[in-house]
A and B are shown apart, each in its own frame.
Chain A
Amino acid sequence: MAALRSVFPIFLLVPLDLGDEGRDNRSPQLECKLKKAAYTFLRVLILLIAAAALGLLVNWIRSGGIPLVAGEPYEIYKDCPEISKEASAVKMEHLDADLSAFSVIDSRPVNDFLTAHVPGARSLPYDPIRPMDKELMAELRALGPNRLLVYGDNEIDSGRLMAGELSSAGLLGVRYIEGGFTAWIEAGRPTESGGQR
C-alpha cells in the first residue's frame, strides 16, 4: 500500500497504519501536497464520470440521439467520382440577368460563400472525396430537369466537378458557370454576402 500511495496519490485517501517500523517519514508539508493532489485526481474522476453519465442520459432521452455503438462504418471518404457525363457549361455572356428559373448552387467553401455569392444562391460546399448526402440528392432531383445552375471557384473548378457529379447521378440539364464566381465578378454582376448555408 505504501508503494501504491507513493505512485498513485489517490491512495493517500485510504487510511494506513504501518506501525513504528514502517512509519511514513514524509514531512507534513509533503503529506498535505500529496493529499491535495489525491483530492484533485478524485475530483477529475467525479467530473468525468458525471459528464459521461449526463451525456449518456441526454442521448437516451433526446430524439436525435445516436446508438452507443455505430451499426455500420461512417462514410468518411469515397473514391473520386467517375464523371461519366459532363454537365453543360454556360458562358457568362450567355447567362440571363434573371436567374429566377434556376436553383443556383454555390459549390465553394462556406466561408467564401458568406463573403460574397450570387444573389439567391444556396451554399452546398463540394468535396470530391465525401459522398453527397442522399436526402440532398433526392431534393435536387425533385426540382425537375434544367433547374440546376452550379458555380464554384476558378482554381479547382469545383462548379464543373459538382455539376458533372450531379449529371452522372442522373439529374437532367445540370449546368455550371464557366469560370465560376470569378467570371461572375469580372462580368460586373451583383453579389450579396452573408446568409444561410
Chain B
Amino acid sequence: MSARTGNVLCGISLPVRVALGIVFIAAAWYKIAEPHEFGLSIASYKILPLGFVNIMAITLPWMEIVVGLSLIAGLWTRAGALVICGMLVMFMIAIGVALSRDLPISCGCFASAEAGEEISAATLWRDGIWLAGAAYVLFVDDGRFGLDGWRSRKQRTG
C-alpha cells in the first residue's frame, strides 16, 4: 500500500473512529451513573448467570470509556478497534438471543430515556453498522493520524 493510499484510507477512518469513540463514551455514561439499572438491563437478557451480572455492570462501561478514548486519541488504535469489534459482536449475539426468545426488553445501550424502547431488528442493524466501522478501523487504520503516528514519527526522527 502506497503512502498516499494509506493516507486516504486512514483519513477516511479518522472520522469513523472518532464517531465510534464518542458513541462508546456516550453509551458508558448512564451505565456508570446508574450501575444498578444497567445490572437490571444485563439481567433482563437472561444470558449471564446472576453471579456475573454485577461484575459485568461495573467493568463493561469502563471498557467502553477506555477503548472510546483510545480510538479518539488514536493511541493503540488497532487494539481499541479490536475490543470494540469484540464488544459489538457480543452485544449482537445477546440482542439476537433476546429477539429469538421474544423477550420484551429494552436494549440498555444508552440513556434511560430509551428504556421504553424495546430491542428490535433495527437495534441489530445499528450495531452491525458500527461493527463494520470498527472492522474498517481495525484492518485499515494504523493510527497515523493520532498518537500512534506521532509516536512512530518521533521514534524515526529521534
Contact = CB atoms under 8 A, between A and B. Distances in A.
Nearest to A36: B78
Interface residues of B, number: 35
A109 B53 CA distance: 27
Interface of B: 32, 35-36, 39-40, 43-44, 46, 50-51, 53-55, 57-63, 65-67, 70, 76, 78-80, 82-83, 104, 113, 115-117
A48 interface: yes
Contacts of A74: 39-40, 43-44, 50, 53
Given A44-B82, A70-B53, A76 B116 contact: no
A115 interface: no
A85 interface: no
- In this complex, the member of A50, A59, A197 whose beta carbon has the largest number of chain B beta carbons within 10 angstroms is A59
A65 interface: yes
B63 A66 contact: no
A107 to B, nearest CB: 11
Nearest to B65: A51
Given A44-B79, A47-B79, A111-B113, A66 B44 contact: no
Given A47-B67, A47-B80, A125 B104 contact: no
A169 interface: no
Give chain A's interface residue range (CB within 8 Å of chain B): 20 to 34
Interface string A68-86: 1110011110000000000
A51 B59 contact: yes
Given A56-B58, A58-B62, A66-B58, 5 more contacts: A40-B82, A43-B78, A56-B59, A59-B58, A76-B46
A132 interface: no
B79 A40 contact: yes
A52 B39 contact: no
Contact of A47 (B35, B39, B46, B70): B70
A55 B79 contact: no
A110 interface: yes
Contact of B113 (A47, A50, A110): A110
A55 B83 CA distance: 16
Contacts of B62: 51-52, 54-55, 58
A146 to B, nearest CB: 29
A41 B70 CA distance: 15
Contact of B36 (A48, A50, A56, A66): A66
9 contacts: A41-B79, A43-B79, A44-B82, A64-B35, A66-B39, A66-B54, A69-B50, A69-B55, A70-B51
Contacts of A46: 79
Contacts of B40: 74-76
Minimum-distance CB pairs A-B, first 8:
A43-B79, A109-B116, A55-B62, A74-B43, A51-B66, A51-B63, A55-B59, A52-B59
Contacts of A56: 58-59
Contact of B76 (A43, A55, A58, A114): A43
A52 B115 CA distance: 26
Contacts of B116: 109-111, 125, 127
A67 interface: yes
Given A40-B82, A51-B66, A111-B113, A70 B54 contact: yes
